[in-house]
Structure 1
Amino acid sequence: MVSRTFRRTMLCMALGMGMASMAAPSAHAGNNDGTVVGHTEAGAVITISNAATGFTRSVTADDKGNYRIPYLAVGQYTLSVAKDGKTLTEPTAVTVTLGNATTVNLGASNATNLSAVNVSGTAIITAVDVTSTESSTNISREELRRLPVDQNIAAVASLAPGVVKGASAFGGLSFGGSSVAENAIYVNGLNVTDFYNRNGYSEAPFNFYQEFQVKTGGYSVEFGRTTGGVINAVARSGSNEFHAGVEMTMEPGAWHAQAEDRYDANGNRYLTASEDRDSLMKTNIYASGPIVKDKLFIFAMVEQRGDNPRNTNDEGTTLTSNSSSPDFWGTTIDWHINDSNLLSLMAFSDKSKNVGTVYNYDYDTHTIGAKTNTIYTDTGGKNWSLTYTNYLTDNLSMKVLYGENKRGSFNRALTDLDCNPVAAENAVPKPGVPLGCTTNTAVEKRNDKRKEGRADFEWKLEDHLLRFGYDHEDDDSIYSRHYPGPGAIYYNVYAATPGSTIPNPNGGGVIPPGYNGYVRARRYEIAGNFDTTNDAFYLEDNWQVTPNLLLNAGIRRDGFDNMDAAGRSYIKMDNMWAPRFGFSWDVKGDGTTKLYGNLGRYYLPVANVINIKQAGGLLDQRTFYAFGGWQTLTDANGNQYAIPVLGPQLGGVDTSQGDGTVHDLRSEVNKDMQQVYQDELILGFQQMLNDKWSWGVNATYRKLHNAIDDMEISATGKCGPDGYIGWVMGNPGKKNTVWGDTNCDGTADGWVTVDTSKEGWAMYDADGNYLGQRGWVNPKRTYTALEFQLDRAWDNKWSFNASYVLSWNRGNAEGPVNSDTNFDDTGRTENFDDPWVNFGGDGYLPNDRRHQLKLRGTYAITPNWQVAGDANIASGGPITGFGVGNPYDATVYHSYYICVANCDAPRSEDRVYESSPRGKYGRMPWTYTLGASITYLRQLADIGQLRVKFAVYNLLNEQRTIQVDQDLQTTISNSTSSTFEQPLRFQSPRFAQLTVSVDF
């Protein structure tokens, strides 16, 4: 009996993290740790120990033989079990992984029958986890060192099924059809997501991390403030053994393939990229060990990095040589006060300085001319968290965290005082000299600071595991921004024909005879201190109903409070209740086959950029002029440049987006704001084929409800066209309550409710007669996907993982940003400015990728040589032909209509339009990204190991198009823009990377 039980124990370990026992409770874990659960004899004492740190923890199995040891640091442990002084099994090795549970049955006479699976040795296999109802991918540091994965978090997350890299200028990652501004990133439990616009995060070097977990859906109630995905990372830590190492990464410029220049249909170069170069050299040094053996440990790392890219502007007339010096430091300190009380500190600094020197450049002769400017950019900041863990009893544990996350950004240039930025669209004839005397478009300084505190508890009560907690964030932004140059004005020049209408909301914007374009002179200034507080509490019950069936039910309550520059609540939403339910059925009762499901709700907070832009005294002043040609000037260095000649002013000055004052915000924000949330349903199946192979399939359905965006309410149901309210941050297609005119005397005197699904936008005929009102469409976004996975676990010889996702991403709202029109001002998209912008806008959304195939694997040729590959194959996104204006109203925003006849008619109702829905013009091409690497390993006597990895990314040097110009018409005319469908962004060219590391 003893030998048979021991064999079953070894098999349970081999089946890997989270293989369920017959009656073990659900195996959730905290943000930066893991759990061990299992089944043994009732009343037995289970002891887990970590020889590397001296940590030991003992618990007693309940009267059903179940045990649970939560909040364990990621790493290698040994489990033993004894009862009445008698050892039931030999000590067994256990691997604890991030965010998962490792289930091990120890010495129980009624242990699950796993005889159908054969296992040799003690290999740990990541396979079926019958205690989990979430969709996640774990990737360890050791696996990443074997694979050709570029050294950044985005590259790691892209390995997970359903994750798409953003194709727009602002990049980012899309999880399950969400926009790139809906994700959350954690390091050791500290939220490091950029809360200014939610597209970005604080990041440490690759070597600082021990393990990553990428959650793509179904995550538990301890995670919130996201309707996309979660990237959860844990840093390395010290032990009783002294270790040290150095790693050098080299990417010489010669190892970067040349990017392709791009030419239009007439053979004119419109994108100059072949002169761009990049080179990287970084050195990473770490040391770790005990400060006090078995008690106090430290891991410390520094990295010096030399990054020297250069790039030309699109025209090839200027060249910028950059010098970046992101000198990183990071540490973790772990204090085992005793076996029941642990204290951990994590800290790192990702501050970086970049100096960009700008020169005149002659593309044809490859000649670098005179220096014209120097641009300075400072980014990053210091981050730290302190975590206290207390094992109060065998069944009750607590974890408390406090930390701070800082992100700074300061952009400025030498020419900021003397030079205005100038830009012109492709259709405008260019002068023979650079436009403006600066390439800088913003003097911007921002300091964001998050103060985070949270407490998490686990309480095991027989067949129930209760998890509950509270977390609070104070997110503060100190911000200032303006354009450089006299008057802080940015000149944009657009082509237009005489008599055509320009986009001036104040009217009067008609191009006079003799002019073929117009100039928008924009002054944009803002400054202030803006604060947001987010808090939440959660409760979850995981109930082992039968030995094979697990149910979990949780509830999370969120509250968001965004404040204006004066510290007053601007957008405040409480009582956001997010229920989440799941089940997991161990079909055969042996931990090899699982049927599971999850249904949950997730809320998205309002980014701080909204406080700043609307509640911070924003001055956004736009003045329009006829374009009178170019004037050539000379700067202080003797360099010539051009600025536009301003003709007559066209219409009034537009300050509708901000006049520099903080108004009575009651008229600018919906008093009863409804939250943005997403519902998600997942059904899945996983099966272990043998001790190494497993497969799975799941179906996911996501539906986004609601949007918070700016819209111009120009009428009310009661007062009609005289009930103008103005620009309101609210819920398109819903009832919005704002301070307005209740008795139609032209004075705001009370609360007015506008049902924007039916009213809010005044319509007039060509003679100015009021026709009634129009309402907004409801924001919609759905994501439906089928996901297939096949996995072969690493056994020191080879490993393999394949995933295929078939998905549909539909609706009329991508999310808080618009990647198809390159609009990243989170939460202030053009989509809902008036009811006609999004009219007819249903279809496939920018992050829709019908097919995604991802493959990765490693093969050990010998103990010293390994080869590995990584492939990402995806179909292209949809192409939409955006028009200007629509057949129902005189507005000239982007629209899903194009003018086809009588387009010169001064009255919009005399023009003829036709529908131009989303995706009408097909799709961008498939992309194929293949990486390959070869690694040499060698033991250095008894002192350490040498690792040399040569990796090539985008091995086939595919530079396929990932984004095109989707403006079919740029003015109201029956002509198609000459740049429509012109490729704008492409796959990065091939580059090679050599990494040499020595670990002692």
Structure 2
Amino acid sequence: MNGKHVRKAALCVALAACLGSIAPMALAQDGAVTGRLVTEGGQKLSGATVTVRNPQTGFARSTTVNADGSYRIPLLSPGTYQMELSVGGGAPTPVGEVVVTLGNATTVNVPVGAINTLGAVEVRAPQVVSMVDVTSTESAMNISRQDLARMPVDQDLKSVAMLAPGVVSGKSSLGGQGISFGGSSVAENAVYIDGLNVTDFYNRVGFSSAPFAFFQEFQVKTGGYSVEYGRTTGGVINAVTRSGTNEFHAGAELTAEPSAWGASGKDYYLANGDPYIISSHDGGTHNKLNVWGSGAIVKDRLFFFGMYEARDNRAFSTSNDGSTFNNGKADDGFWGGKLDWQITDNHSLSLLGFSDSNQNVADVYRYDYLTGTRGSQTNTIFTDTGGDNYALTYNGHLTDTFAMKAMIGRNTRDYANYSQTDIECNRVVSEAGIAPAGIPLGCTTNSAVESREDERKAGRLDFEWTLGDHLLRFGLDREENTSDYERMYPGPGGYYYNVYKTTPGATLVNGGQVPAGTTAYVRARRYEIAGTFETDNSAYYLEDNWSVTPNLLLNLGLRLEAFDNKDSEGRSYIKMDDMVAPRFGASWDIKGDGTMKLFGNVGRYFLPVANVINIKQAGGLLDERTYYALAGWETRELNGSQYQVPVLGAQIGPVDDSQGDGTVGDLRSEVDRDMDPVYQDEAILGFQQSINEAWSYGVRGIYRKLHNAIDDMEISATGACGPDGYIGWVMANPGKKVTVWGDTNCDGDADGWVTVDTAKEGWAMYRQDGVDADGDPIMTYIGQRGWEKPKRDYKALELQLDRAWDGKWSMNASYTLAYGRGNAEGPVNSDTDFSDTGRTENFDDPWVNYNGYGYLANDRRHQVKLRGAYAITDNWLVGATLDARSGGPITGFGVGNPYDATAYHSYYVCVENCDSEFSGERVYAHNSRGGYGRLPWSYELGASVTWLKSFNETNLKVKFAVYNLTNQQKKLSVNQEYEGAIGSPNDLFLYPESFQAPRYAQLVVSLDY
């Protein structure tokens, strides 16, 4: 037998040499070994037994071969196993070494010769191991901790996900961990650690995490995943942690990232020379030391792995105008551990626990960026994040054909933001050029006083049952997600003051008109909410993997979802059930030897409603906005430091509390009774081929289409009562029929169910045609308007070429050609920075999206990704990564529209008679989505060099990595507001808002025993 072939082929699978299309033919955090005994002349091997053994843990599992020679061993932890074959109780014959990877089925077909009189089996060379996983109909990338150690990949889950094709980083203002998979928004993904869902459920951006050294292997699913997974219309990050073995091992790893090794950011100025973004003084030092140990408490039965990581993170930055300096530190350590109890070879228990709790303390100082002089301290801001996580998992191989897995877990993600000046100081922010220079605005830089405790209680059961040519997989899972939330603005009255430029006669968002002589206005906003809110998500799934022929596999699956979002009193607020998600796939082993396959799948995926909707729509939200003419600036003093606050002049227009008046109200009138869920349909067709034992290539075509949106809409009229049938803000499906509790007989009182077809009506259109004798505006009703249905589709072609690591070198290259079009990005909006999931401005009124179809924010026409490593000698290793992508589209958003008197963002700008008091006299022009071109290409090149040295059983590794080697600082986003108010150009239009991070370097020194 040729063991070299076994090892290389199995390693190919482990490194996703099969171009990332790996099967969901094993439960989420496990792998499987499957295959067929191939005999000469149709010889039967009744009673043959296949056994896999893990020499590190003493674990062994056997299964009896079926009459047709096929076998399957599921629920195997990722690792390296020895395979044996015996017939009729004869002596076992070694087959070879097999590598089992996360979530995959490793196929091992064994050529069998004669059986001697003692029952020994002749296993003939060469051993055939599938180079392309012909049992797969999904798309995923597998990569191990060892693989990542050879390349310059930063130590976080986002950096791992970014290696996969079709994955781009989201806008930083929507969340630093945001990732876009296949054109989706950053709020549509799911992250699992050892089977525990650790995704942020409050806003669905972000997730709990752990140090790299805590993980063993990662899997990034980009499409076509099985019915075992749900609650995502983006992608899935699946990670498994390390475990102990019979041998004691320990180690330490030091990571140093000094500020002095990094490049400075660039500064940007306004046309008049005033500072716009000062980033040359930003930086930070990040150091951490983790120590770990693993071994057996009871040999062959009870194992442990434990880690503690001490951290010293220092980050400093200036405000955009360079007037304040934040000096932050975060030094809370990480702890994590795992106990594995191998009760028998067929039954095991695993207990996982880790904590990513962290507090960042930032001292705020006055600052002169020109001289780099730090003044007096004005504030200290505290930010608490993270929490404790636990999961208990049972793994049972009940019979040769029936296996199960059960998991219960708890995931917590707490958040708090508060400062020393919260009681005394309001936040003040102003557009450039309005406030006198030299004196800071306000006496706090803290934007909110906020605390939140999120707790997920999760449980799931998963089963596998082999019946002849059918592998049945079925199960259920349930999550109870609870948010305890409180928020307000700092300072007296809880007001946040924003100062904007304007022009006399301009119409503000609340409908008020700017008086003569006023060139700036103040928005005073109160934003308060508190309560405890719960969401229950549950699902059942059934899947049949049917081997129709030895070369053709059909994957037939069905997932049944249910979501129940509750208000602060525990009543169902948004409840959707009986959501059926069918998923079908096929894989054809073209040559029958596992080296070439044609595969495809179609499926439906549902997206739950984030907890932020419960809180802000069903929790007594007060969102009060009052507008004033700016009457000047007042200088005050606190703790020996001067600051400015705006002087409020005459109020402009009414107080606007339409987004929330502080009461819960009758929820029947605030949510559609028959709401449809948000879901995405996906179709994938792909081809893969193994060129030889190291090289493989593939191509994949992808089509995704998002259906529906759940967002807040202001319904200002009904068909029965016209403009007098005002309902208010409703959570519903834009462009569909909406049924709410309302006024059925037009007497002004809600008395029954009212249905409004929002594709045709629901918005009362008014035009201002003049003023009456008292000078009040004359508003003429000119009809109704409906909403455009949300649209989003993604089409892509992916090409990949892969060379598996063979001890000398490895390489992966991918190119993605993608088109992402629509009129709505998803539950969040990158264009205008709406980060509350499901509460964007896109559907506030029908005009926000009118004529707004085009290329979406996450559309990147071209993406090129390269990664690889090369061993120069046994001691020296170099690695590199490249991520290059074309820029996203730029839109010039206007304010208002040519059809009524509203003033939301729109795809129209006023070009004539803009200062008219009468909206009917203004003339508008259409600004198409993406009409101002695209952002520039951006790329990040990483390079690393590693020195390896062994001292008996001790291994030393020193790795130096540089990220963004060429120090690219291209614009990643720009200001897309063409107008600040109707007819008032925004001076900051097309000014950059975010950039690539400057070059930085990292030294990692690890010592393992």
TM-score by length of 2: 0.95
Task: Name the structure 1 match of 2:47.
Answer: 43
Separation (CA, whole Å) in 1 of partners of 2:9 and 2:647: 77
User: Which residue identity does 2:693 align to in structure 1?
Assistant: D
Task: Name the structure 2 match of 1:392.
Answer: 398
Q: Retained in 2: the 8 A contact 1:9–1:107?
A: no
Structure 2 residue 101 is matched with structure 1 residue 94: no
Task: Name the structure 2 match of 1:319.
Answer: 325
Structure 2 residue 903 is matched with structure 1 residue 892: yes
Structure 2 residue 649 is matched with structure 1 residue 638: no
Offset at 1:431? Answer: 3.6
Separation (CA, whole Å) in 2 of partners of 1:145 and 1:553: 38
Q: Retained in 2: the 8 A contact 1:125–1:794?
A: no
Alpha-carbon spacing, 1:11–1:301, altered in 2? closer, same or farther (3 Å): closer
Separation (CA, whole Å) in 1 of partners of 2:104 and 2:14: 7
Alpha-carbon spacing, 1:402–1:810, altered in 2? closer, same or farther (3 Å): same
> In the alignment, which of 345, 353, 362 is matched to residue 356 of structure 1?
362
- Three-state SS of the structure 2 residue aligned to 1:697 is strand
Offset at 1:822? Answer: 1.2
User: Which residue identity does 2:547 align to in structure 1?
Assistant: Q
Separation (CA, whole Å) in 1 of partners of 2:871 and 2:689: 26
Separation (CA, whole Å) in 2 of partners of 1:560 and 1:9: 46
Task: Name the structure 2 match of 1:113.
Answer: none
User: Which residue identity does 1:83 align to in structure 2?
Assistant: V
Separation (CA, whole Å) in 1 of partners of 2:97 and 2:743: 72
User: Which residue identity does 1:672 align to in structure 2?
Assistant: D
Offset at 1:685? Answer: 0.3
- Three-state SS of the structure 2 residue aligned to 1:707 is coil
Offset at 1:428? Answer: 2.7
Q: Does 258-267 or 666-675 show the bigger shift?
A: 258-267
Structure 2 residue 954 is matched with structure 1 residue 960: no
- Three-state SS of the structure 2 residue aligned to 1:889 is coil
Separation (CA, whole Å) in 1 of partners of 2:436 and 2:576: 50
User: Which residue identity does 2:953 align to in structure 1?
Assistant: I
- Three-state SS of the structure 1 residue aligned to 2:543 is strand
Alpha-carbon spacing, 1:27–1:489, altered in 2? closer, same or farther (3 Å): closer
Separation (CA, whole Å) in 2 of partners of 1:755 and 1:30: 44
Alpha-carbon spacing, 1:495–1:241, altered in 2? closer, same or farther (3 Å): same
> In the alignment, which of 308, 311, 314 is matched to residue 305 of structure 1?
311
Alpha-carbon spacing, 1:793–1:501, altered in 2? closer, same or farther (3 Å): same
Matches within 5 A, 1:394-413: 394-413=400-419
Task: Name the structure 2 match of 1:181.
Answer: 187
Separation (CA, whole Å) in 1 of partners of 2:74 and 2:183: 33
Q: Does 85-94 or 153-162 show the bigger shift?
A: 85-94
Q: Retained in 2: the 8 A contact 1:345–1:384?
A: yes
Structure 2 residue 665 is matched with structure 1 residue 654: no
1:733-754 Cα deviation digits (max 9, x unpaired): 0011100011111111111111
Offset at 1:410? Answer: 1.0
Offset at 1:907? Answer: 1.8
- Three-state SS of the structure 2 residue aligned to 1:666 is helix
Task: Name the structure 2 match of 1:116.
Answer: none
- Three-state SS of the structure 2 residue aligned to 1:886 is coil
Matches within 5 A, 1:69-80: 69-80=73-84
Task: Name the structure 2 match of 1:580.
Answer: 583
Structure 2 residue 512 is matched with structure 1 residue 516: no
Offset at 1:107? Answer: 4.1
Task: Name the structure 1 match of 2:42.
Answer: none
- Three-state SS of the structure 2 residue aligned to 1:278 is strand
Task: Name the structure 2 match of 1:972.
Answer: 982
- Three-state SS of the structure 2 residue aligned to 1:334 is strand
- Three-state SS of the structure 1 residue aligned to 2:668 is helix
Separation (CA, whole Å) in 2 of partners of 1:295 and 1:678: 45
Alpha-carbon spacing, 1:976–1:513, altered in 2? closer, same or farther (3 Å): closer
Alpha-carbon spacing, 1:724–1:57, altered in 2? closer, same or farther (3 Å): same
Separation (CA, whole Å) in 1 of partners of 2:985 and 2:712: 29
Offset at 1:558? Answer: 0.4
Offset at 1:167? Answer: 2.6
Separation (CA, whole Å) in 1 of partners of 2:668 and 2:745: 17
Offset at 1:429? Answer: 3.9
Offset at 1:267? Answer: 3.5
- Three-state SS of the structure 2 residue aligned to 1:920 is coil
TM-score by length of 1: 0.96
Offset at 1:7? Answer: 9.5
Structure 2 residue 673 is matched with structure 1 residue 671: yes
Offset at 1:137? Answer: 0.3
Alpha-carbon spacing, 1:299–1:906, altered in 2? closer, same or farther (3 Å): same
Task: Name the structure 1 match of 2:942.
Answer: 931
Alpha-carbon spacing, 1:436–1:765, altered in 2? closer, same or farther (3 Å): closer
Q: Retained in 2: the 8 A contact 1:901–1:912?
A: yes
Matches within 5 A, 1:194-273: 194-273=200-279
Structure 2 residue 997 is matched with structure 1 residue 991: no
Separation (CA, whole Å) in 1 of partners of 2:526 and 2:258: 42
Task: Name the structure 2 match of 1:627.
Answer: 630
Structure 2 residue 439 is matched with structure 1 residue 445: no
Structure 2 residue 772 is matched with structure 1 residue 769: no
Alpha-carbon spacing, 1:997–1:14, altered in 2? closer, same or farther (3 Å): closer
Offset at 1:85? Answer: 3.0
Separation (CA, whole Å) in 2 of partners of 1:48 and 1:27: 20
- Three-state SS of the structure 1 residue aligned to 2:464 is strand
> In the alignment, which of 838, 841, 852 is matched to residue 841 of structure 1?
852
Task: Name the structure 2 match of 1:869.
Answer: 880
Separation (CA, whole Å) in 1 of partners of 2:333 and 2:994: 30
- Three-state SS of the structure 1 residue aligned to 2:447 is coil
Structure 2 residue 835 is matched with structure 1 residue 824: yes
Structure 2 residue 917 is matched with structure 1 residue 920: no
Alpha-carbon spacing, 1:492–1:546, altered in 2? closer, same or farther (3 Å): same
- Three-state SS of the structure 1 residue aligned to 2:617 is helix
Offset at 1:17? Answer: 5.6
Task: Name the structure 2 match of 1:902.
Answer: 913
**Unpaired stretches in structure 1, ≥5 consecutive residues:** 111-118
Q: Retained in 2: the 8 A contact 1:20–1:103?
A: no
- Three-state SS of the structure 1 residue aligned to 2:795 is strand
1:812-866 Cα deviation digits (max 9, x unpaired): 0100000111110110000000001110110000000000000000000000000
Separation (CA, whole Å) in 1 of partners of 2:6 and 2:887: 48
Structure 2 residue 517 is matched with structure 1 residue 527: no
Q: Does 12-21 or 892-901 show the bigger shift?
A: 12-21
User: Which residue identity does 1:315 align to in structure 2?
Assistant: D
- Three-state SS of the structure 1 residue aligned to 2:979 is coil
Separation (CA, whole Å) in 2 of partners of 1:120 and 1:665: 71
Matches within 5 A, 1:59-70: 59-70=63-74
- Three-state SS of the structure 1 residue aligned to 2:229 is coil
Separation (CA, whole Å) in 2 of partners of 1:126 and 1:979: 57
Structure 2 residue 375 is matched with structure 1 residue 375: no
Offset at 1:194? Answer: 0.3
**Unpaired stretches in structure 2, ≥5 consecutive residues:** 38-44, 115-123, 770-778
Alpha-carbon spacing, 1:126–1:963, altered in 2? closer, same or farther (3 Å): farther
- Three-state SS of the structure 2 residue aligned to 1:416 is coil
Task: Name the structure 2 match of 1:114.
Answer: none
1:409-449 Cα deviation digits (max 9, x unpaired): 11110000100000012353444211100000100000000
Matches within 5 A, 1:109-188: 127-170=131-174, 171=176, 172-188=178-194
> In the alignment, which of 488, 493, 500 is matched to residue 487 of structure 1?
493
Alpha-carbon spacing, 1:553–1:959, altered in 2? closer, same or farther (3 Å): same
Separation (CA, whole Å) in 1 of partners of 2:169 and 2:573: 33
Task: Name the structure 2 match of 1:783.
Answer: 794
Q: Does 88-97 or 786-795 show the bigger shift?
A: 88-97
Q: Retained in 1: the 8 A contact 2:24–2:138?
A: no
Separation (CA, whole Å) in 1 of partners of 2:931 and 2:370: 39
Separation (CA, whole Å) in 2 of partners of 1:629 and 1:827: 38
> In the alignment, which of 688, 701, 704 is matched to residue 703 of structure 2?
701
Q: Does 126-135 or 71-80 show the bigger shift?
A: 126-135
Offset at 1:95? Answer: 0.6
- Three-state SS of the structure 1 residue aligned to 2:27 is coil
Matches within 5 A, 1:658-807: 658-767=660-769, 768-807=779-818
Matches within 5 A, 1:448-467: 448-467=454-473
Separation (CA, whole Å) in 1 of partners of 2:129 and 2:708: 42
Offset at 1:621? Answer: 1.1
Structure 2 residue 342 is matched with structure 1 residue 336: yes
- How many residues were matched structurally? 980
